[in-house]
């Protein structure tokens, strides 16, 4: 009888059977607490002032035995836990809730894993915008698998990653978190990330975690570029630009969780949008996972004074009702609005069956993940794996592949040490931590200066000057931004010029930092900008160095595209690096001396000015007609990136010149390395429907292949063209392939001059 009464504890039964049985035994309060999380409240409920588990405090806080659904970021306790400390802490917390809740339900621990586990001694990989520049989904999947393992061995179960927002406005401070401006590229990188995190979805190897797709939906095109602002787009744009990465990641990679977005669409905030979270996500796409709120976003359906409000709910109670009816399974990060759910059920505003529907996936995935049967982790394993040399080498590999060469006048690079005796390393980003947002504290971090010194030691003299400051100290988390004084900067610029004059070549590390481009999460923590020029007095610094006549090699580090017009015209070499992670200095040095040939491509357009926004490449035919007395073209186009060698694409053709609407074919071409160095090139395929029932973009990326070639080597490239490559939402909002002619373009960037064209007839 007892065995039958505890069917949910029987590991021989299916997760579905166990979830059904457990749900049938839960009280209303037990169900509702599964929809809640504790984050900063850890100290009030079960941690002492040093971040250690306090069993007496925990027993007092949870004496009702109902437990809690999730614990947020155990890695950030006590100022940051080591891998061993976090593993021990999660074990203690887990043991408490299993043994002290009436039904013994374990908790889920979630962590931030944007570009590696954001924790002490977690490996820090390049930011997503940099990873997108690799055009290498395989590499991306590998490093997210490493991030997943580092999270899992410490006790984490769910990653609040990847970000699948299609970024359409460079003013937005969260560009760095995205895979760029193109739906197809974001989709491919998103698929790789989810597969890296979740593996085959069985979770039996204890190396994977649940992925959470962020932020659903259209968060990457906020009005005025301001974080959380309204997104005013049509359903067609939603379905063709912003939905595809989410739909593909759910249906092809099996992503388990989705985070709703802060913004509103057509007047409806996402956390109160039944059409978005129920009609599309669940009914149309068949999503069977769970939706989590963005931090405090349900509260914002009413009004959150330190940031904003939507005012579609009069108070937190009404906000809770809107969220559950719309389909938000869990409120993050603290028990807040959902504290009112029991009252809403008892008064009849919310049906308990609705609560059941929302709780079932939460407990099902606890069974499926395996933490009912195997809830603890091994601290020895955590210590061995996190920040390992193997992971460090992957961080270096990813950093190298992320670097994009924008200019290399007269073949200045790689450095010729027969001609160079003294190198000046100058700039505010030359000797500063450059990890970007949502970063932890890795075991190793190499600055640009340290990397160059280590690599070039004995071959040339290295001189250093900061040149000026972007901000005085500060970090991504720190609200206050302190600016240097003009006097300080002018003195530093003068010193930098003196250093430059003593050198044969000047390496300049400039751009932005974690304070000038970041998530604007409150009124006193801003990160969106009205200006995308170099911040502060950096351009003044560059102009002063340019006057010395010394060759300038510029490495840009930034979270958003910067309009570097002066540099384009005056620097001999320019690299876009974004944020390269903990191995920044090693990767930069390897590229500088030619030990690695850069092959990155721009995953987002770099505009000439803020007035050129929007500037994404896949615009409509009537757009970009021109400006009075200005150039409408981008400073650097999407997909652009040079190499230390040269490539030639020939014999562009189609496997079939005519196909039926339900058939597939392929683009074929030959690519040759015509230079003297081995290197990589990304062959890109763009498609345009020449005549259609609704307007279509002038070109859309629909395929790419990254090829590595030795000097003189030729490769035959084949890129599939499937019905989805040609389909769109027609005048009646049906997803179809219309008959007619399609222009198929192949080349090395989205720029017309880099593309060769053939025509496909569809009948």
Angle between helices 389-402 and 584-593 (to 10 degrees): 50
- Give the pTM: 0.98
Residues 378, 212: contact at Cβ < 8 Å? no
- Whole-number Å distance between alpha carbons of 423 and 222: 43
- Whole-number Å distance between alpha carbons of 510 and 465: 12
**Residue 398, preceding bond cis, omega within 30 degrees?**
no
Which domains, and CATH codes, for the chain?
2-7+15-384 (3.20.20.300), 403-611 (3.40.50.1700), 647-762 (2.60.40.10)
From the CB of residue 530, how many other CB atoms can be counted at a distance below 10 Å? Answer: 9
At 381-430, the pLDDT tens digits run 999 999 999 999 999 999 999 999 999 999 999 999 999 999 999 999 99
Angle between helices 244-251 and 183-198 (to 10 degrees): 30
Q: Work out whether strand 422-426 and strand 461-465 pair parallel, antiparallel, or are unpaired.
A: parallel
Q: What is the DSSP string of 527-545?
A: ---S--SPSTTHHHHHHHH
pLDDT of residue 5: 72
Residue appearing with tokens 């931090």: 295
**Residue 215, preceding bond cis, omega within 30 degrees?**
yes
Taking CA atoms, 140 is separated from 115, 134, 250, 434, in Å, by 10, 9, 18, 20
Q: Is 336 a catalytic residue?
A: no
Pick the catalytic residue from 165, 182, 294, 590: 294
User: By three-state DSSP, how is residue 484 classified?
Assistant: coil
User: By three-state DSSP, how is residue 208 classified?
Assistant: coil
pLDDT of residue 570: 98
Give pLDDT < 70 ranges for the chain: 1-4
- Whole-number Å distance between alpha carbons of 81 and 128: 25
pLDDT of residue 179: 98
CB neighbour list of residue 63: distance below 8 Å, 6 or more residues apart: none
Residue appearing with tokens 């947002």: 437
Residues 540, 584: contact at Cβ < 8 Å? no
pLDDT of residue 177: 98
Q: Which of 690, 682, 688, 592 has its CA nearest to residue 638?
A: 682
- Whole-number Å distance between alpha carbons of 740 and 731: 16
Q: What is the DSSP string of 662-728?
A: T--EEEEEEEEE-SSS-EEEEEEEEEEESS-SS---S-EEEEEEEEEE-TT-EEEEEEEE-HHHH-E
């Amino acid at each position: 009888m007892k065995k039958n009464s505890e069917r949910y504890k029987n590991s021989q039964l299916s997760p579905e059977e166990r979830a059904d049985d457990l749900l049938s035994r839960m009280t209303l309060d037990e169900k509702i607490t599964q929809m809640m999380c504790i984050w900063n409240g850890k100290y009030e409920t079960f941690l002492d002032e040093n971040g250690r588990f306090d069993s007496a405090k925990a027993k007092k806080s949870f004496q009702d035995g109902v437990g809690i659904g999730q614990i947020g970021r155990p890695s950030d306790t006590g100022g940051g836990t080591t891998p061993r400390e976090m593993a021990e802490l999660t074990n203690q917390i887990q043991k408490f809730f299993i043994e002290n809740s009436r039904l013994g339900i374990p908790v889920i621990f979630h962590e931030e894993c944007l570009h590696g586990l954001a924790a002490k001694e977690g490996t820090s990989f390049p930011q997503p915008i940099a990873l997108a520049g690799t055009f290498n989904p395989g590499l991306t999947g590998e490093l997210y698998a490493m991030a997943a393992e580092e999270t899992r061995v410490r006790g984490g179960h769910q990653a609040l990653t990847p970000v699948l927002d299609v970024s359409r406005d460079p003013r937005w401070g969260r560009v760095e978190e995205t895979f760029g401006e193109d739906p197809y590229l974001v989709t491919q990188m998103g698929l790789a990330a989810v597969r890296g995190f979740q593996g085959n979805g069985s979770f039996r190897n204890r190396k994977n975690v649940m992925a959470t797709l962020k932020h659903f939906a259209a968060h990457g095109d906020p009005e005025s570029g301001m974080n959380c602002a309204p997104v005013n787009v049509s359903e067609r744009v939603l379905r063709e630009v912003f939905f595809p990465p989410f739909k593909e990641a759910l249906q092809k990679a099996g992503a388990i969780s989705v985070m709703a977005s802060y913004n509103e669409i057509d007047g409806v905030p996402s956390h109160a949008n039944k059409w978005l979270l129920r009609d599309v996500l669940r009914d149309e796409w068949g999503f069977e996972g769970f939706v989590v709120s963005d931090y405090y976003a349900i509260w914002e359906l009413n009004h959150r004074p330190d940031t904003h409000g939507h005012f579609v709910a009069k108070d937190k109670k009404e906000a809770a009702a809107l969220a559950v009816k719309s389909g938000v399974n869990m409120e993050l990060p603290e028990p807040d609005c959902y504290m009112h759910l029991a009252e809403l059920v008892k008064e009849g505003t919310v049906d308990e069956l609705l609560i059941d529907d929302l709780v079932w996936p939460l407990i099902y995935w606890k069974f499926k993940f395996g933490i009912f049967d195997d809830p603890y982790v091994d601290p020895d394993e955590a210590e061995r794996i996190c920040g390992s040399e193997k992971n460090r080498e992957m961080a270096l590999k990813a950093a190298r592949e992320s670097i994009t060469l924008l200019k290399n006048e007269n073949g200045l690079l790689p450095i010729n040490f027969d001609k160079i005796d003294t190198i000046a390393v100058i700039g505010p980003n030359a000797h500063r931590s450059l990890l970007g947002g949502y970063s932890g504290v890795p075991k190793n971090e190499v600055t640009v200066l340290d990397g160059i010194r280590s690599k070039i030691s004995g071959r040339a003299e290295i001189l250093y000057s900061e040149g000026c400051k972007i901000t005085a100290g500060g970090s991504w988390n720190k609200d206050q931004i302190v600016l240097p004084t003009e006097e300080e900067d002018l003195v530093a610029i003068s010193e930098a010029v003196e250093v430059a004059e003593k050198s044969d070549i000047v390496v300049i590390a400039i751009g932005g930092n974690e304070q000038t481009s970041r998530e604007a999460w409150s009124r006193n923590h801003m990160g969106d900008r009205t200006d995308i020029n170099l911040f502060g007095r950096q351009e003044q610094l560059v102009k002063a160095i340019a006057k010395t006549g010394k060759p300038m090699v510029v490495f840009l580090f930034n979270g958003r595209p910067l309009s570097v017009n002066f540099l384009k015209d005056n620097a001999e070499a320019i690299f876009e690096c974004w944020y390269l992670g903990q191995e920044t200095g090693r990767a930069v040095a390897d590229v500088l001396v030619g030990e690695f040939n850069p092959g990155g491509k721009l995953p987002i357009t770099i505009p000439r000015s803020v007035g050129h926004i929007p500037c994404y490449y896949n615009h409509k035919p009537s757009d970009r007609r021109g400006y009075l007395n200005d150039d409408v073209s981008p400073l650097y186009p999407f997909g652009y990136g040079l190499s230390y060698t040269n490539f030639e694409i020939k014999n562009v053709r189609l496997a079939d010149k005519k196909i039926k609407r339900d058939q597939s074919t392929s683009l074929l071409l030959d690519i040759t390395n015509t230079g003297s160095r081995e290197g990589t090139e990304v062959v890109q395929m763009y498609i345009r429907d020449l005549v259609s029932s609704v307007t279509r973009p002038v070109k859309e990326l629909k395929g790419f292949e990254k090829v590595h070639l030795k000097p003189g080597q030729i490769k035959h490239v084949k890129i599939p063209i499937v019905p989805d490559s040609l389909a769109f939402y027609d005048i009646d909002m049906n997803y179809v392939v219309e008959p007619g002619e399609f222009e198929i373009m192949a080349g090395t960037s989205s720029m017309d001059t880099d593309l060769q064209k053939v025509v496909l007839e569809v009948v």
